[in-house]
Structure 1
Amino acid sequence: MAYISYLDLPKHWGLERGDRVLLTSDIMQLMFTTMRNGERFDRDAFLDAILGVIGEEGTLLIPTFNWDFCHGVAFDYHKTPCKTGALGGFALSRPDFRRTQHPLYSFAVAGKDQQLLCDMQNVSSFGVDSPFGYLEKNHGKNVIIGIHYTDCFTFVHHCEEVCGVDTYRFSKTFTGQYIDAEGQESTRSYSMLVRSYELYEATDLTLIGEKMERAGVAHVIVLNEIPYRIVDLTAAAPVICDDIKNNSSRGICKHKLQ
């Protein structure tokens, strides 16, 4: 197949106008491929290309996660860096993106539902009132660039929480200093599902990835020799929850109760 310009790639992902898109990526391979083919990778232009496909009615979310709050470090809405890839941190520098409020699992958001997402006050990282819950309710599409499900598919933790997992993972509350968008500092508490060190052994999403693909709720396309995984999160949730409830979560992890 002939080389496809990086600015045309979003047209090949099966996105439609009005889509809610969660973009998770390792863009290094994409950047190298772009340069090898005589183009200069421009992050602004790439994000603009995605926004152009989903249009003004669409919404784009990019992870800007940071877990320092769990270790007693204050979260600063404007200054706490993104630890989940260069694209999320870059998006936060653009005036059309805003950050959601959770100190552990925040997102850079642009588009129609930006205000809705940035107004969320969810305490739980993965609950139904979180951006993950929003994506499940609204047929969010997770576009995964160049990496495997195991390395980035955080949505499974939302499904674990919804399904009531409390053994190999359990809810833990973290309390610390929080500096909000207006610079006001307060003490806040937030929770997330954490691993049980006694029971949890390893994360491996190979089997759940295969299940989702067989069920037709996820598919893989290869463009310029880079894999792109596209997941309909609303349709994927029942597949993941079935594995959690009826297969002891074998599709997503290894733990000692299996």
Structure 2
Amino acid sequence: MTTPKNPFAKASIKPGSTLLLHSSITRTLQQNRMKPEDVISAILEKLGREGTLLLPLFNFDFNEGVPFDYRSTPSHMGALTEIGRKWPGAVRTGHPVYSFAVIGRNASEFEGMDNKSAYGPDSPFAKLRELEGEIGVIDLPDQQSMTIYHHVEEMLEVPYRFHKDFTGTYVDREGMTTERTYSIYVRDLDAGVKTSVDRMGERLWAKGLYRGDRPKEDSGLRIISANDLFDEVEAVIRAGEAEQYLFELDKCA
């Protein structure tokens, strides 16, 4: 069987880097006659032996009272991420809503991570920044991908979001069942806050912080330094421009 050509061969993935990847892979699969596991292999090939790949395994059932099982609760983020969850040697982080699969050299840095707050200082987003990692996006706009914006918002304690606790049944990696409470820095719905970050994405392009391809163009993969993104979003928030770039208000709320 012929090995599929790597569609990211010319992409600006840095060998040895730690890369958090958000993706819509339908076009990639169709154009390259690939399977989802081929996409993971292609990204890992570019990252090399010293590289690390993070894939979001977000699942929102815990918020609705459904038990979370560290060993088996599936990702709601598509076939690529669910395959990543089951990838040999993959490590899963512990938040029942915002967990990640981590594959590669730095996976041990995330092993046992049980962050109570989804986006906080003990989260995978913070660890990604500590490791000077990057965020990649395939064929998605910022609005449908860049969850790390909420990490910046939580670290700066923006007033249009607040900490909300969720308590439910949690089955850990050893199969032990307990009741646990986790938090998410949620938007203020009563105030009519609606996430709206595509304008921020355009600002990042204009500043030259994104590199690579726009959605649905060539590889469709764009990449940005997690720390560069944090600094630029922090600047927007401190300048009082969050409503211009990060959210909008529903006037009917």
| Aligned partner (choices 50, 58, 78) of residue 85 of structure 1 | 78
How far apart, CA to CA, are the structure 2 residues paired with 1:106 and 1:81?
Answer: 10
Unaligned runs of 5+ in 2: none
Corresponding position of 1:217: 209
User: What is the CA distance between 1:147 and its match in structure 2?
Assistant: 0.9
One-letter amino acid matched to 1:61: L
Residue 254 (structure 1) aligned with residue 248 (structure 2): yes
What is the root-mean-square deviation of aligned Cα atoms in Å?
2.0
Deviations 1:122-155 (A, max 9, x none): 1110012110001122222111001101111000
| Aligned partner (choices 127, 146, 171) of residue 163 of structure 2 | 171
Corresponding position of 2:16: 18
How far apart, CA to CA, are the structure 1 residues paired with 2:191 and 2:15?
Answer: 44
One-letter amino acid matched to 1:255: L
Matched-pair contact (CA < 8 Å) for 1:7–1:46? no
| Aligned partner (choices 232, 243, 246) of residue 225 of structure 2 | 232
How far apart, CA to CA, are the structure 2 residues paired with 1:23 and 1:224?
Answer: 17
How far apart, CA to CA, are the structure 1 residues paired with 2:66 and 2:36?
Answer: 30
Matched-pair contact (CA < 8 Å) for 2:8–2:219? no
Corresponding position of 2:172: 180
Corresponding position of 1:30: 28
- Give SS of 2:114's match: coil
**Identity in percent:** 33
Deviations 1:211-231 (A, max 9, x none): 212222213415864532211
How far apart, CA to CA, are the structure 1 residues paired with 2:7 and 2:176?
Answer: 41
Corresponding position of 2:112: 119
Matched-pair contact (CA < 8 Å) for 2:12–2:212? no
| Aligned partner (choices 137, 162, 176) of residue 155 of structure 2 | 162
How far apart, CA to CA, are the structure 1 residues paired with 2:196 and 2:5?
Answer: 32
User: What is the CA distance between 1:256 and its match in structure 2?
Assistant: 6.7
Change (3 A) 1:235 1:112: same
| Aligned partner (choices 123, 132, 135) of residue 128 of structure 2 | 135
User: What is the CA distance between 1:173 and its match in structure 2?
Assistant: 0.9
Matched-pair contact (CA < 8 Å) for 2:37–2:80? no
User: What is the CA distance between 1:98 and its match in structure 2?
Assistant: 2.5
Matched-pair contact (CA < 8 Å) for 1:139–1:235? no
| Aligned partner (choices 73, 76, 85) of residue 69 of structure 2 | 76
- Give SS of 1:240's match: helix
- Give SS of 1:96's match: coil
- Give SS of 1:118's match: coil
- TM-score, L = length of structure 1: 0.89
How far apart, CA to CA, are the structure 2 residues paired with 1:121 and 1:224?
Answer: 37
Unaligned runs of 5+ in 1: 35-39
Matched-pair contact (CA < 8 Å) for 2:196–2:246? yes
User: What is the CA distance between 1:161 and its match in structure 2?
Assistant: 0.4
Matched-pair contact (CA < 8 Å) for 1:122–1:129? yes
How far apart, CA to CA, are the structure 2 residues paired with 1:200 and 1:218?
Answer: 30
Residue 57 (structure 1) aligned with residue 50 (structure 2): yes
User: What is the CA distance between 1:6 and its match in structure 2?
Assistant: 6.3
How far apart, CA to CA, are the structure 2 residues paired with 1:234 and 1:6?
Answer: 33
How far apart, CA to CA, are the structure 2 residues paired with 1:75 and 1:198?
Answer: 28
- TM-score, L = length of structure 2: 0.90
- Give SS of 1:172's match: strand
Deviations 1:27-68 (A, max 9, x none): 11211222xxxxx31333321221122122211000000111
- Give SS of 2:9's match: helix
Query: Alignment length, in residue pairs?
Result: 247
